[in-house]
Every structure is written in C-alpha cells, then in structure tokens.
Amino acid sequence: AQKVTQAQTEISVVEKEDVTLDCVYETRDTTYYLFWYKQPPSGELVFLIRRNSFDEQNEISGRYSWNFQKSTSSFNFTITASQVVDSAVYFCALSEEGGMNAGGTSYGKLTFGQGTILTVHP
Amino acid sequence: DAGITQSPRHKVTETGTPVTLRCHQTENHRYMYWYRQDPGHGLRLIHYSYGVKDTDKGEVSDGYSVSRSKTEDFLLTLESATSSQTSVYFCAISQRGYYEQYFGPGTRLTVT
C-alpha cells in the first residue's frame, strides 16, 4: 500500500527565511510519481510539480526547489527567501503507475499526505 | 490553468434531501475524480471515472453515486444527504491516470 507522511503539521517562519517541507513516502511499485500541491487560504488546490521515480534530478523553479532522494524515500520541498504569499497548506502526494482498477485501467490513485500548514510572517 | 468548473460553489441543504454536484471540464481529459476534504482527514477519493460511462469507487463511496454521460461532465449525487457529508468537495481531472491531477475550485456543502 502506498503512504505519504508529512511529519511537520505546522511551520511558522519570518519573511525571507528559507523553509523546507519534508515528505516521506512508501510504495512497492518501481514506477511511481510524486507531486506537490499548494492550497492557499482561498481554498483552491494548485499543482506545483510532478517527479517521476526514474528521474532523481533535483529541480529548481524560481524560489522553489525540490530534492528527490530514492535512497531515503523522500521528496522535500524548499522555499528560499519565503514571502507572505507563500502562506498556505502544502500537500505531498504519490501515485503508482501500476495502480489498476478491476477493468485493468490505471486510474492513478493519488495518495495525499496530511499537509503542512506554512505561515510566513511579515 | 486547467478549465475545470464546479457548480454550485456553495450549497446548504437539509438532511434527507438528494443533492447533485456538477463538474465540468474543457480539457478533454479522460480521467475525472471526486474528492472530499475534511479537517483531520485530508483529501479522500469518493469516486472516479476513466471514461464515459466508466466509473469506479474510491475509499469513501458509501452514500454517493456518480455518472458520466459526456467526457466533459462528471456528476456526484448524494442520494440522501446526511450531516456527515458536510464537507468541501473537489473535482479533479487528469490526462493519464497516474499523472498530475488538476483540481476545480471546490464546492462547500453544508447539510443541516
């Protein structure tokens, strides 16, 4: 069974601090996908990134960076020089390519972590 | 942003009444999903669809049914609403079953 653990329930930082959100996953599949989503106070869920299990290259997008390490089953998310607008709930999620329904179609069961509430103070 | 709309965005209904939530997409994605989000439970999958008229249950499907008669529309019906179904409901779409899902704006449902 797949599982995603975000051990940090809440993080509070002051603007311009760097912050890392941890994500640890469990899966038996060899091909899987990892995701991060952002849910700002307005409530919508915003897709941030997808990472494939066969690509451990880290990724940077502006102030955001992601560190994927298969050896430790972790997919951590770092925000550099945090801003108030980064305040949100962040979810890590996992899907397995091999996840099949009774009809034999991969439906991509997306397993979410419980989320980390990030508050950035001015 | 993916073209996903949900209607209504807010609804208050009484216990025992049927309720239908609609999800509409303009992306022609094959997969569509319904989730509910509750404090302490995160996001939980209710039902999903992998094609027109092809649907299956998720982890919390009791008391819910779905239908998909067109690629673009996925309906979630609460057959007889209960207070435990008070929640925020999200629809999502995906091109491939295991790729990222794009979420609609959500529907806040209150059952009194």
User: Under an 8 A CB cutoff, do B31 and A96 touch?
Assistant: no
Residue linked to tokens 């899987």: A32
Q: Given the DSSP bridges, would you call strands A116-121 and A10-14 parallel, antiparallel or unpaired?
A: parallel
Residue A92 and residue A6 in contact, taking contact as beta carbons nearer than 8 Å: yes
CA distance B66 to A91: 26
With cut-offs at 50, 70 and 90, classify the pLDDT of residue A100: low
DSSP state of A42: T
User: Under an 8 A CB cutoff, do A50 and B102 touch?
Assistant: no
Residues 6 or more apart whose CB falls under 8 angstroms from that of A75 comprise A23, A25, A34, A36, A51, A66, A67, A68, A69, A92
Per-residue confidence in pLDDT tens, chain B, 112 aa? 569 999 999 999 999 999 999 999 999 999 999 999 998 778 999 999 989 999 999 889 999 999 999 999 999 999 999 999 999 999 999 988 778 899 999 999 999 9
* pLDDT at residue A101 in the model: 55
Identify the contact set of chain B against chain A, taking CB-CB distances under 8 A: 31, 33, 42-43, 45, 48, 50-51, 54, 56, 88, 90, 92, 94, 96-103, 105-106
Query: Mean pLDDT across the stretch A50-65?
Result: 90
CB-based contact (8 Å) between A104 and chain B? no
Residue type, B101: Q
Counted residue by residue, chain A has a size of 122
Q: Which residues of chain A are within 8 Å of residue B89 when distances are taken between CB atoms?
A: none
CA-based nearest residue to B22, from B61, B98, B78: B78
